[in-house]
Chain A
Amino acid sequence: MTDNKENRQGQGGGPKTVLGKVSSSKNAVTHGATSKQLLNADEERKFHLTLQEFEQNYNVNHPLVKLQIERIAQTQIQLQRVQKMMLVQFQKSQLNSQIDEDLQKAMDFNADTADLKLLRDIDPDYRNYDYITKIAVEIFVIKQQEAFTHEDVLNKMPQFIKHITAEAKTVNQDLHSYIKSELEHKRRLKRPGIVLKIIPPGHTEEDIVPPQDINDIVKDYSIEDWQDFILIKQLEIHKAMTMERKINDYQKLLP
Chain B
Amino acid sequence: MQEASLPDLDTYDKLMRYQTSLNNQLSKQIGELVELEKTYSK
In this complex, how many residues of chain A approach chain B with their Cβ under 8 Å: the count is 32
On whether the beta carbons of A65 and B37 are closer than 8 Å, the reply is yes
On whether the beta carbons of B29 and A71 are closer than 8 Å, the reply is yes
Q: Tell me if A's interface is mostly helix, strand, loop or mixed.
A: helix
Residues from chain B with a CB closer than 8 A to the CB of A76 are 26
On whether the beta carbons of B22 and A78 are closer than 8 Å, the reply is yes
Residues from chain B with a CB closer than 8 A to the CB of A69 are 33
A-B contact count (CB 8 A): 71
Interface-forming stretch among A83-91, A143-151, A169-177? Answer: A83-91
Give which listed residue, A58, A83, A100, A122, contacts B37 with CB less than 8 A.
A58
Minimum CB–CB distance for B4 against chain A, Å:
4
On whether the beta carbons of B18 and A93 are closer than 8 Å, the reply is no
Residues from chain B with a CB closer than 8 A to the CB of A114 are 1
- Give the interface residue-count category, chain B: 20 to 34
Q: How far is the CA of A34 from the CA of B26 in the complex (A)?
A: 15
Residues from chain B with a CB closer than 8 A to the CB of A86 are 12, 15-16, 19
On whether the beta carbons of B18 and A72 are closer than 8 Å, the reply is no
Q: How far is the CA of A78 from the CA of B22 in the complex (A)?
A: 8
Given the known A-B contacts A68-B36, A79-B23, are A34 and B18 also in contact in the complex, defined by CB atoms under 8 Å?
yes
On whether the beta carbons of B29 and A72 are closer than 8 Å, the reply is yes
Residue of B5, B8, B32 most packed against chain A (CB within 10 A): B5
Minimum CB–CB distance for A252 against chain B, Å:
17
Residues from chain B with a CB closer than 8 A to the CB of A65 are 33, 36-37, 40
On whether the beta carbons of A59 and B37 are closer than 8 Å, the reply is yes
On whether the beta carbons of A89 and B11 are closer than 8 Å, the reply is yes
On whether the beta carbons of A122 and B3 are closer than 8 Å, the reply is yes
Residues in A lying within 8 Å of B, measured CB to CB: 33-34, 58-59, 62, 64-65, 68-69, 71-72, 75-76, 78-79, 82-83, 85-86, 89-90, 92-94, 96-97, 100-101, 114, 118, 121-122
Residues in B lying within 8 Å of A, measured CB to CB: 1, 3-8, 11-12, 15-16, 18-19, 22-23, 25-26, 29-30, 32-33, 36-37, 40-41
Closest 4 CB pairs of A and B: A97-B5, A89-B7, A93-B7, A97-B4
